[in-house]
Amino acid sequence: MTIMHPRRFPHVTSVTSRTRGLIGAALAFALGAAPLGAQSRRPAPEFAVAEATIPQMQAALREGRTTSRELVTRYLVRIATYEDRLNGVAWINARALQEADERDRERAAGRIRGPLHGIPVAVKDNIQTRDMPTTGGALAFAGFVPPYDATLVQNLRDAGAIILAKTTLTELANWVAPGMPANYSALFGYSYNPYDPRRDPRTQLDDGRPVLSTGGSSSGVGTAVSFWAANVGTETSGSILSPANQNMLVGIKPTVGRVSRRGVIPITGDQDTPGPMARTVADAAIMLGALEGARPDTADAATRTCARPPRGDYTAFLDSASLRGARIGVPRAFFFDRFTIPGDSVPRGGLTGERATLMQEAISILRARGAVIVDPADIPSVVAPDAQNSFLRWPVCAGVGDRDCSIAFQYGMKRDFNAWLRTLGQAAPVASLKQLREWNLAHRNGGALRYGQGLLDASDTVDVAVERARYEADRAKDVRLSATEGIDAVMERYRLDAILFPASSGAGIAARAGYPSIGVPFGFAPNGPASGFPEGFGALPTPFGVMFTGRACSEPRLIGIAYAFEQATRKRVPPPLFP
């Protein structure tokens, strides 16, 4: 299939041929163009990049056991070997080897930029990069190279990182259509989970989607199989924590404003935040410090919300004794145990079987490591007896004219997406959300609307002037139910350091509050009832982790708690099908 693109590019080839071409070209260059003087070096034992941590890579670079060029080359080999089975790579940086050589020369001259010097990482394809396209997975943006880098991209480069690639994603961060599968986009198709990289065989779901969800809208696939050291995702509600959980990764969803959003395709500035995904808490902490940068971003006022730690170093909080005396709440109602929401007659939520067993084990470990477990520590807005004060009765509006729900996402998309397009000037492939919708309709036969665009349609009906009063009231209710009468209330009542959630189940309430959370791998659970699959299919289990949530700007404390839990458990298992 050839995709015609407005204004800027005559064609962009299909995902499969695009990826193979990029990998082939980069790999050929990697293997065939050795840097000056490389032939005279004595061979050294090969440094294995699979599961290597950032501190391990830095030690190997410092001691001369590898080079940044060699790291890039070995990651490219892994991409070339496994990418066709996973579809986790959107774009590869054609200058990655050149940048690696530059970092190697700087290291040889004694100049170290920062904690990511010479380390290959990836960023989500809704984060602007001037050396690779930025598309959000939308056909209308195919091949679009923006006129400026996102602030976080510059921060990564200032810290010495090599941005090796862009990751796939759910189209426009999952604000296109209800029912769009995680990590599907019109431009890139479906991504597959490395813990079971097969298509779903069930008749009602056999449209090509993965049998084991990748989570979304960010992708953790490439980091899970060591295509790079770590990656940057973005979250509006669950889009870092969900894929981190599904790919057995550590995900840090920061306080909104901790990391600049300038140059990130938005949904709503009220909740959007970039954040790191990595294989260890230490790697995620290093990434967070680099992403935050040395100073607030004048283009994003929210970056003044939280004080930066000394020297921007979150590794200072990596203390295996951090659980001693930590007060951790267990929100039983709905998240652990079934709960009847006001107006319902049948209870919802809760855990059963292996998931309940895993969480009880996690609580026992926390207690054994010195944490004070407050159980139950139910969230007031979750257990509120009346619908008006119930967080669970206050969903996000999805359709045109929806009532009794928050219009904040629809309003934010209309306001912030159009504002973002204006920053692109004449380079913008479309001039407005309305033009994007029209372009999609005109290219329906080319695959632009496989799942429709109901969320975009509903957002575009919003009149930001006329509906401002409703938006402000809805946003105030979001904050009241998620923060004031939610997370803040339970944490103040029980003097908590963190709230413990199963998997990424608390992502929604933390996201609306704008508060930080960290997900940590912990085990596996069944992927749905076995009776749902064809006989003999043998669905493999899904990763299952835990999530720690705190109040605004509490990342240092959460990192300490998450690190101590990780060191006490060490439950991450690399995907066995991708050694």
| Residues carrying an active site annotation | 124, 213, 239
* C-alpha dihedral, 32 to 33 to 36 to 40, nearest 10°: -10
DSSP state, residue 505: T
| Distance, CA of 377 to CA of 488 (rounded, Å) | 12
* C-alpha dihedral, 206 to 208 to 213 to 215, nearest 10°: -140
Query: Hey, how many other C-beta atoms are within 10 angstroms of the C-beta on 461?
Result: 12
**3-state DSSP of 94-130:** CCHHHHHHHHHHHHHCCCCCCCCCCCEEEEECCECCC
DSSP state, residue 487: I
| Nearest Cα residue to 153 out of 131, 184, 180 | 131
Rounded to 5 degrees, what are φ and ψ at 177? -150, 140
Contact between residue 104 and residue 118 where contact means Cβ atoms under 8 Å apart: yes
| Distance, CA of 545 to CA of 72 (rounded, Å) | 30
| Distance, CA of 434 to CA of 456 (rounded, Å) | 9
Contact between residue 460 and residue 414 where contact means Cβ atoms under 8 Å apart: yes
C-alpha distance from residue 249 to each of 202, 215, 236, 244, 257 (Å): 27, 12, 19, 5, 23
Cis check: omega of the bond before 178, within 30 degrees of 0:
no
Which run of H or of E encompasses 479?
A: helix 468-479
